[in-house]
Amino acid sequence: MSDSSLSGGAPMHRGPYISMITNRTMNLLIRAAMLFMVGVFLALVLNLLQVQRNVTLFPPDVISSIFSSAWWLPPCCGTAAALIGLLYPCMDRRLGEPHKLKREWSNVMRCVAVFVGINHASAKVDFVNNVQLSLTLAALSVGLWWTFDRSRSGFGLGVIIAILATLATQLLVYNGVFQYTSPDFLYIRSWLPCIFFAGVITVGNIGRQLALVNFYFQF
């Protein structure tokens, strides 16, 4: 379990894939890249869901409208996903309480599906008022945490990041970078923190699972 023996000494001939995977920095980079891609992808898809809420029918050149909203949004989401996904396993290690609950890919997939479902509900389902929508989404988000995470550290980190992200969004909207159609919580929609929280939990779950996979190849 020493990095020094890897770097110095005789040339180690390994299979190219293995040697790449075993490298710790490489490992970290791969994880970050995967998380980044997951973040970008989710941002694109979920943004599309939000856009759909206002427009029912699209002009033929609809593909361009996917990217038309804001070019910086997917990279931001991707970076945030990479950071959060790396932060969760790191925090687990620091706190010394590894995440025990249901560490399987099927559960991660379930978690992602529920997250997309929450977004879907926020975009498609017509609620009576915004309070009801926000409360429902909050309950769903906490339910997501309880079903797939159940760790206090995960909850704490999720809440902190959700608050920070909400603040950042408020600032962005305040400065007029973009806006929401019917803001009901200062400048933004009140369900946004819930979505952020659910997203943090989901990405954290993915990050933990990825860390678990690559754990076996670390030295």
Partner 1 sequence: MTVRERLRQNISAAFYRHGLLCASYPVPIILFTSASILTCCYPLLKLPLPGTGPVEFTTGVRDYSTPSHESQGDLSERPDWYRGPPVAYIQQVLVKAAVSPWDNSLVPVDVFRSPLGRVFSVLEEIRNHVYTDRSLEALCLQVTDLLPGLRRMQAVLPEHGCLLVSPGNYWQNRRDLFDADPDLLKTVHQHEPKGLHTSATLKDLLFGVPGKQTGVNLYSKKRVVTYTITIALSSYDARFVASLRARLKQLHPSANCTLREDHMVHVHFKEEIGIAELIPLVTTYIILFAYIYFSTRKIDMVKSKWGLALAAVVTVLSSLLMSVGLCTLFGLTPTLNGGEIFPYLVVVIGLENVLVLTKSVVSTPVDLEVKLRIAQGLSNESWSIMKNMATELCIILIGYFTFVPAIQEFCLFAVVGLVSDFFLQMFFFTTVLSIDIRRMELADLNRRLPAEAGMPPPKPGPLRPRETPPPPRPSPHTITLQAPAFRNLRLPKRLRVVYFLARTRLAQRIIMVGTVIWIGILVYTDPAGLRTFLAAQVSEQSPLGEAGLPPHLGVAPVFPGGDPTSTLSGLPAPEPTPLPENQSQGHRAAHPEVAPVSSPQITWGPEDEELWRRLSFRHWPSLFSYYNITLAKRYISILPVIPVTLHLSPQEAIDTRHPQDTHHAPPPSIKTSDLQTDLTLYKVAALGLFAGVVLVLLLFCLYRVLCPRNYGQNGVPHGRRRRGDLPCDEYGYSPPISEISPLLLRGHSMDIECLASDGMLLASCCLVGHIRVWDAQTGDCLTVIPNNGLRRSSSSGCWEHRDGGGAVGGQDVDIFPIRRRTTPARPALFGDQPDLTPLIDTNFGLSPPSQALSSSGFDFGGLVEKAYQEHEPSPTLAFPPSPPPVLPPELPPQNNGDWDSSVWAMELRGNLIATGRSSGKLELWDAVEGSLRCSNEDGVSGITALAFLNNRIVAARLNGSLDFFTVEITKPLGLLQYRGPPGRGSLPPSPCYSSEDVISCQLTRSVQCAHQKPITVLKAAAGRVVTGSQDHTVRVYRLEDSCCLFTLQGHSGGITAIYIDQTMVLASGGQDGTICVWDVLTGSRVSHVYGHRGDVTSLVCTTSCIISSGLDDLICIWDRSTGIKLYSIQQEVGCGASLGVISESLLVTGGQGCVSFWDLNYGDLLQTVYLGQSSEGQSVRQLLVLDNAAIVCDFGSELSLVYVPSVLEKLD
Please choose, from the candidates 41, 56, 192, the residue with its C-alpha nearest in 3D space to the C-alpha of residue 124.
Answer: 56
Q: By CB under 8 A, is residue 96 in contact with partner 1?
A: no
Kindly tell me which residue out of 3, 53, 70, 104 binds partner 1, with binding defined by CB under 8 A. Answer: 104
Q: How many CB atoms lie within 10 A of CB 162?
A: 21
For partner 1, give the closer residue by CB, 103 or 152. 103
Q: CA–CA separation, 176 vs 198, rounded Å? A: 26
Q: Determine, following the binding rule CB under 8 A, whether residue 125 of this chain makes contact with partner 1.
A: yes
In sequence order, the 6+-apart residues with CB closer than 8 A to the CB of 22 are 6, 14, 217, 218, 219
Task: Please report how close the Cβ of residue 101 comes to partner 1 at its closest, in angstroms.
Answer: 7
Q: How far apart are CA 59 and CA 57, in angstroms?
A: 7
Can you give the length of the chain in residues?
219
Q: Is 62 in the site for partner 1 (CB under 8 A)?
A: yes
- Is 17 a residue that touches partner 1 (CB under 8 A)? yes
- By beta-carbon proximity to partner 1, the closer residue of 169 and 209 is 209
Give the position of tokens 């996917």: 66
- ∠ CA 194-199-204, nearest 5°, is 130
Q: Given candidates 28, 34, 83, 101, which one binds partner 1 under the rule CB under 8 A?
A: 101
Least gap, CB of 15 to partner 1 (angstroms)? 4
Number of residues that bind partner 1 (CB under 8 A): 63
Give the residue with the Cβ less far from partner 1, 25 or 106.
Answer: 106
The distance of closest approach from Cβ of residue 187 to partner 1 in the complex, given in angstroms and rounded to an integer, is 25
Position 14 contacts partner 1 (CB under 8 A): yes
Q: How far apart are CA 24 and CA 3, in angstroms?
A: 9
Residue 33 in the binding site for partner 1 (CB under 8 A) = no
- Enumerate the H helices of the chain as residue ranges: 4-7, 16-22, 24-54, 62-68, 73-95, 105-124, 130-148, 152-174, 192-215
Interface residues with partner 1 (CB under 8 A) are 1, 5-6, 9-15, 17-18, 21, 41, 44-46, 48-49, 51-52, 56-66, 100-106, 108-110, 112-114, 116-117, 120-121, 124-128, 132, 136, 139, 143, 209, 212-213, 216-217
